[in-house]
Structure 1
Amino acid sequence: MSTKIKVAVAGASGVTGTSVVNALLATPEKFEVTALARPASVGKREYVELAERGVIITPVELCESDELVQALTGQDVVIECMTLNQLEQEKALVNASSKAGVGRYVPSFFGPCCPPRGVMLAREMKEEVLNHIKKLYLPYTAIDVGWWYQLSFPPLPSGRFKARFEYSTVEVVGDGNQPWAVTDNRDIGKYVAKIIADPRTLNKMVFCHNQIWSQNEALKLLEKMSGESIPRVYVTKEELESSISECEAEMAKSNQTDMLKLGMSQYKHLLGIRGDNTPEKAKYLGYLDARELYPEIEAIPLESYIQDMLDGKLKAPYS
C-alpha cells in the first residue's frame, strides 16, 4: 500500500482553499489533509465541518515560531491559499516550511498569468514571495489558474445572476474581443491535486485553465441561455491606464491608495487590453500547461457554470 501524501493547507476555509481541500478529500487513499487554523478559529463552523470530513485541524499562529515549524514537520506539501493582505504570515509560513524540511511549497498565486514585473502590483508581491522561496532553495510549485468564471459576468437584469461588482469584470474591456483563459473555481483543486503529486512540476510554474473565451462570446452565451438582454458598459484602455496612473501617483506620495481599485484596473488591463492571460503567453513566460499534462481532468465548461447559476445552485463568491 502506497504512503499517503501529507498536505497542509493554510486558508482552507476560503474559496480557493475549499476547492483544494475538496479535491484532496476526494481521494482519501492518496492524501492526508491538515488545515492550519488560528487557535481562535478552530471552533468556527468551517473548521468543525472539515474535521467531520476527516481533515486534521492544527491550531497554530502563522508567525515566526518553533510551534509553526513543529506543525509543518513531516508534511510533504504546504499549500498557501491566503490573500495578499497576509504577506507577512506567508513569509513566516515559507520560513517554517524550509526549517521543517517540507518537500514542496505552493504559494498563493492562483490567478491570471502575466510578466513578473511592470504589469500588476499584486503579481509583484507574489513574485516577492516566490523569490524568498528561491533564496531558501525551498522546493516549490507556483500555480496560476486564469480568471474565474465566477468573476466574469455582470448581473442579469432579472437578478437571477448576481455579481460582486468590486471584484468582477462587469464592464466590457476595450472592444471585448480579446480572448482570455477562464476557470471554474470549483475545478482549481482538481488541478492542484494532480500537480502536487507530479514530480515533473517540482520547481516549476504551472498554468491551469478550463476554456478560452472573449467577453463578447461569453456575454452572448449568457444572453442565449438566460433569454435576457444584458446592457453593455465599456471601459477603455485610456480609462484603465488613467486609473492605474492615479493610484500609482497616490502611492508615490503617501504609500497609500485604493488597492482594490488599483488591482481591478490592472487585472482588466492585463486581461482585456494587453492579453497576457492566455496559454500561449503562459508558455512564453515559462509555465507548464496543465491541460497538456493532465488531459484526463474533466473541467466544468462555461455553459454548465452558467446553468448552475441560473438554476440557483451557486451564489456569487464573496457574497
Structure 2
Amino acid sequence: MAAPSSDTQHATSPSRSTTIDNFKNLGVRFLLGDLNDHTSLVNSIKQADVVISTVGHSLLGQQDKVLSAIKEAGNVKNSFCLYTGFGGFHVTDMPCPYQRFFPSEFGNDVDRAQSVEPAKSAYATKAMFRRRIEEEGIPYTIVSCNFFAGYFLPTLAQPGATSPPRDKVIIMGDGTPKAVFNKEEDIGTYTIKAVDDPRTLNKILYVRPPMNTYSFNDLVSLWEKKIGKTLERIHVPEEQILKQITEASPPLNVLLSLCHCVFVKGGQTNFEIEPSFGVEASELYPDVKYTTVDEILDNYV
C-alpha cells in the first residue's frame, strides 16, 4: 500500500515506473489509499494480515490514522506495506497466520536510547505511539535495525562528507561504545521473515549481528587495514558535540544528535536483549547470510 506523492515528477519517473512494474511482475497488487482518507485505509487494510508502516519523520504523528484504520478493519487477509514517496498501497498475496502491525521505527530502540534534542522528540513520538499500540491491544512487532549501512558506512559516519576518510577521521567521544551497521536489504529480509513468526509477536526484533557490531575505534582500524594507511584520529569531547548540536541547523542537528546517542551514549548496544521484550534477528534466523561490515567497506576502498 503506497500513498500518492505530491511530487508528480518523482512519482512518474522512469525508475519508479520500473520498480512498480517489477513488483507487479512478482504478483504484487497495488491499492490506492491516503493517510487523510480513512475509508481508503480501512478498505485496503481489510485485505491484509500484516501492516508495515515506514512513514517518514514528518509523518510519524499521523500513524494514529493507520492504527484507527487497523482497529476498524479488524480482519485482513494478505501482507501489505505502507510507505511514503508516491502515496498508495501495495498488497502482496502472502498468507499469514498472525495478524500484526509493524510501526515505523527501523532504527534505535526508542525506549532504551539516551538522546538529546532534536532526536529526543522524535524518539518520544515513537515511544508514545508504542504505548498507544499496547493500550489498544493491537498485535505488533517492532524492528530495531540500528544504523542503515548504506547511509553511514560510505563516509565512515563523517557528517557532511561525501566519501570515506583518507587522512583524518572525526570520532565522537572516546570511540569505545559499539554501534551496529546493517545493509538495508538484510533488514528487509529479517523483517519479512518475522511477519508470520510467533516468536516475534509483541516483541522487538533487534537486528544486531555480531559481525556488524563495531566500536568507532574498531571501525576505523578496519578501514585503516583496508586502505593500508593510518589515519589521524580526532576525538571530539561530549561537551563540544552538544554545543555543535545546538548550533547546527536541520538536518545536520538531527544527524549529530543521533550520532551522539549512538557513538557517545552507546544507545544501540548498552543494554542486554531480554526474552521478555525482544529477540535478536541473526540468532532467530541463522539461515540468513547477512552482509558484514567488512564486506561492505570493500566497496569503498
The equivalent of 1:38 in structure 2 is: 4
Corresponding residue for 2:205?
206
Cα displacement (A) at 1:89: 3.3
2:68 aligns with 95
Give the C-alpha shift of residue 154 in structure 1.
6.9
Quick one: structure 1 residues 118 and 230, their matched pair in 2 at CA, closer, same or farther if it must change by over 3 Å? closer
Whether 1:308 and 2:277 are equivalent positions in the alignment is no
With 278-287 and 98-107 compared, the bigger mean Cα shift is at 278-287
1:130–1:283 Cα change, 3 Å: same
Name the SS of the counterpart of 1:297 in structure 2. coil
Cα distance, 1:106 vs. partner?
Answer: 0.4
Query: Matches of residues 262-281 of structure 1 in structure 2 within 5 Å?
Result: 262-278=253-269, 280-281=271-272
TM-score (norm 1): 0.70
Cα offset for 1:285? 8.7
- For residues 45-83 of structure 1, give each alpha carbon's deviation from its aligned partner in whole angstroms, at most 9, with x where no partner exists: 454223322232222211242111112112011111121
- Measured after TM superposition, the shift of residue 213 of structure 1 is 0.7
Whether the 8 Å CA contact 1:176–1:216 is kept in 2: the answer is yes
Instruction: Measure the CA separation in 2 of the matches of 1:45 and 1:164.
Output: 31
User: Aligned residue for 2:136?
Assistant: 136
Consecutive unaligned residues of structure 2, counting only runs of 5 or more, are 77-98
Partner residue in 2 for 1:7: none
2 CA distance for matches of 1:155 and 1:265? 14
Partner of 2:177: 178
Please show how residues 244-255 of structure 1 align to structure 2 within 5 Å: 246=246
2:147 alignment counterpart:
147
Question: Which residue pairs with 1:32 in the alignment?
Answer: none
Structure 1 gap segments, 5+ residues each: 1-34, 248-256, 311-319
1:178-197 equivalences under 5 Å are: 178-197=177-196
Residues 144 and 208 in structure 1, CA contact (< 8 A), matched pair in contact too: yes
1:228–1:99: structure 2 CA closer, same or farther, 3 Å change rule? Answer: farther
Instruction: Classify 1:191/1:154 alpha carbon distance in 2 versus 1 (closer, same or farther; 3 Å).
Output: closer
Q: Aligned equivalents of 2:213 and 2:113: distance in 1?
A: 24
CA deviation after TM superposition for structure 1 residue 109, in Å: 0.9
Secondary structure at 2:239's aligned position in 1? helix
Decide whether aligned partners of structure 1 residues 214 and 284 sit closer, same or farther in structure 2, where only a CA change above 3 A counts: farther
Q: CA RMSD in A?
A: 3.0
| Alpha-carbon distance in structure 2 between the residues aligned to 1:37 and 1:46 | 17
In the alignment, does 2:107 pair up with 1:111? yes
- 1:135-180 Cα offsets, whole Å, 9 max, x none, are 3222111110122323434749xxxx94599xxxx73111212222
- Rounded to whole Å, the distance in 2 between the matches of 1:47 and 1:270 is 34
The answer to whether the 8 Å contact 1:171/1:232 transfers is: yes
Q: 1:132 to 1:44 in 2, by over 3 A?
A: farther
Residue 229 of structure 1 and its aligned partner are, at CA, apart by: 5.0
Q: Is the 8 A contact 2:35 2:66 kept in 1?
A: yes
* Per-residue deviation, 1:208: 0.7
Provide the secondary structure at the position in 1 that maps to 2:35. coil
Corresponding position of 2:92:
none
Structure 2 length normalisation: TM-score?
A: 0.74
Residues 83 and 163 (structure 1), Cα distance of their counterparts in 2 relative to 1, 3 Å cut: farther
Report whether the alignment pairs 1:51 with 2:50.
no
Classify the secondary structure of the residue corresponding to 1:74: coil
1:283/1:289 contact within 8 Å kept: no
Aligned counterpart for 2:48 among listed residues 66, 70, 75: 75
Change (3 A) 1:137 1:46: farther
Q: Distance in 1 between matches of 2:114 and 2:293?
A: 31
Q: Note the C-alpha offset of 1:308.
A: 2.6
1:249-276 per-position Cα deviation (integer Å, ceiling 9, x unaligned): xxxxxxxx94534432332222122212
Change (3 A) 1:56 1:234: farther
> Aligned to 1:37, what secondary structure does the other structure show?
coil
Residue identity matched to 1:111: G
Confirm or deny that 1:63 pairs with 2:64: no
